């Protein structure tokens, strides 16, 4: 039976009237899997990793009988994960990276326009000491797919998890990411490029939890909103006592292209450790007049100039993609979208 559950909770919460403390989603009672490959079931007890969308979602999936599976990922290649969405589905993909290994993963979350369904796509990552995980996600569900994209990671000593997410036009999306920086000198990078329009919503909750000394996190969001789009970005840097020397930064740059959009930004910095450096910067508003003027004086009409700025917002995140094949894949999608427009 369908049930409404709370996800993307802001901890600690703030004024209720701002309507940013949490969001509610309706989930079906049963799910199929959208992964066509046969993957080995993971030991659920060993994969209790907190995610950005939160415990209520993980518990719901567990109660609905969704089993975590181990992804087959290898070093030296681009590991592609592309679910095929046809009906209500939920998948929990576990990615276990041993010490000193580097893996590149690309997930493409898309669906046919005809698909009417709800999908939960959850990735759980354990990054062993000194390992590197480069995870690129293209998130572009078709109009009928309500998508929850949720990630949790545990990052060991000197390990890195580099997440790049590209949200292009599509349906309503809820997204979460939580990185637990539990190893000394660990790193979590999170680069997000987003375009939202035509009344689409994007509800995000990203948490960087610094437990270990000298751990470092970087979140950057760049995007453009137009024609009734609604976006909430919650970004939390949490310095837990004991993470001396930790460093966390958040940056957001959002272009608002018309008067019909709602952009909410909630960048928290929480701190119980003395010796840390945390910072946040945001720039939200219309495109700079002088930049538009310059482009128009070179013969580019205003519409085209705005499309260029939208693309630049995505490319700011794309530029962080390490793997060349993944980069080309993402750029092809961006180019295709542009051609279609």
Partner 1 sequence: MSEEKTIVDDINRSVYDVIDKENSATRLEEGLNEDIIRRISEEKDDPDWMREFRLNCLKIYNELEVPQWGPGIEGLDMSHISTYVRPKTDMKNSWDDVPEDIKNTFERLGIPEAERASLAGVGAQYDSELVYHNVMKEVEEQGVVYTDFESALKGEYSDMVREHFMKLLVPTDHKFNALHGAVWSGGSFVYVPKGVKVSIPLQSYFRLNAKGAGQFEHTLIIVDEGADLHFIEGCSAPKYNVANLHSGCVELFVSKNAKLRYSTIENWSKNMYNLNSKRAIVEENARMEWVSGSFGSHTSYLYPSTILKGDNSTMEYTGITFAGEGQNLDTGMKVMHVGKNTSSVVNTKSIAKSGGVSTTRTSVQVMPGAKGAKSVVSCESLMVDNISRSDTIPVMDIRTDDADIGHEASIGSIPDDAVFYMMSRGMSEEDARALIVSGFADNVSRELPMEYAAEMNNLIRLEMKGSIG
Q: Is 277 a residue that touches partner 1 (CB under 8 A)?
A: yes
Q: Do the Cβ atoms of 206 and 219 come closer than 8 Å?
A: yes
Neighbours of 303 (CB within 10 A): 9
199 binds partner 1 per the rule CB under 8 A? no
CA distances from residue 89 to 65, 119, 331 in whole angstroms, order as listed:
12, 5, 28
140/234 with CB nearer partner 1: 234
By CB under 8 A, tell whether 290 contacts partner 1.
no
Minimum CB separation of residue 259 from partner 1 in Å reads 5
User: What's the CA gap between 24 and 59, in Å, rounded?
Assistant: 15
Beta strand pairing call for 40-41 and 68-70: antiparallel
Binding mask 21-60 for partner 1 (x = CB under 8 A): x---------------------------------------
Q: Measured from the CB atom, is 15 or 36 closer to partner 1?
A: 15
User: Among candidates 265, 194, 267, 196, which has minimal Cα distance to 230?
Assistant: 196
The tokens of 150 are what? Answer: 């949720």
Is the Cβ of residue 21 or residue 337 nearer to partner 1 in the bound state? 21
Compare residues 79 and 226 and give the one whose CB is closer to partner 1: 226
State which of residues 46, 48, 74, 286 lies at the interface with partner 1 (CB under 8 A): 286
195: closest CA among 240, 261, 246? Answer: 261
Query: Which of 97, 100, 219, 210 lies closest to 162 in space, CA to CA?
Result: 219
**Taking CB under 8 A as the rule, does residue 302 contact partner 1?**
no
Rule CB under 8 A: is residue 332 a binding residue for partner 1? no
Nearer to partner 1, 191 or 234 (CB): 234
Tell me which residues touch partner 1 (CB under 8 A).
12-16, 18, 20-21, 239, 241, 244, 254, 256-259, 261-286
């Amino acid at each position: 039976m369908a049930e409404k559950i709370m996800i993307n909770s802001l901890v600690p919460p703030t004024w209720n009237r701002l309507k940013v403390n949490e969001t509610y989603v309706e989930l079906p009672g049963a799910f199929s899997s959208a992964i066509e490959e046969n993957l080995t079931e993971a030991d659920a007890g060993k994969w209790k990793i907190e995610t950005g969308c939160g415990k209520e979602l993980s518990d719901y999936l567990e109660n609905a009988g969704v089993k975590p599976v181990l992804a087959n990922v290898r070093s030296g290649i681009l590991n592609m994960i592309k679910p095929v969405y046809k009906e209500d589905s939920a998948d929990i993909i576990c990615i276990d990276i041993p010490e000193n290994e580097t893996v590149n993963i690309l997930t493409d979350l898309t669906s046919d326009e005809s698909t009417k369904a709800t999908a939960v796509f959850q990735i759980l990552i354990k990054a062993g000491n000194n390992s590197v995980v480069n995870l690129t996600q293209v998130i572009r569900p078709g109009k009928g797919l309500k998508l929850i994209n949720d990630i949790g990671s545990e990052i060991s000593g000197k390990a890195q998890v580099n997440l790049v997410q590209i949200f292009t036009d599509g349906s309503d999306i809820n997204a979460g990411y939580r990185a637990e920086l539990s190893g000394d000198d660990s790193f979590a990078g999170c680069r997000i490029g987003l375009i939202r329009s035509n009344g689409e919503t994007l509800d995000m909750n990203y948490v960087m939890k610094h437990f270990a000394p000298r751990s470092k996190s970087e979140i950057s969001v760049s995007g453009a909103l137009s024609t009734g789009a609604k976006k909430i970005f919650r970004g939390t840097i949490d310095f837990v006592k004991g993470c001396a020397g930790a460093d966390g930064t958040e940056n957001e740059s959002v272009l608002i292209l018309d008067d019909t959009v709602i952009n909410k930004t909630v960048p928290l910095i929480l701190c119980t450790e003395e010796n840390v450096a945390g910072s946040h910067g945001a720039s939200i508003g219309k495109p700079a007049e002088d930049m538009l003027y310059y482009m128009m004086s070179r013969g580019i009409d205003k519409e085209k100039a705005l499309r260029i700025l939208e693309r630049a917002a995505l490319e700011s995140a794309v530029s962080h993609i390490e793997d060349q094949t993944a980069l080309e894949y993402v750029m092809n999608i961006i180019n295709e979208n542009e051609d279609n427009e």
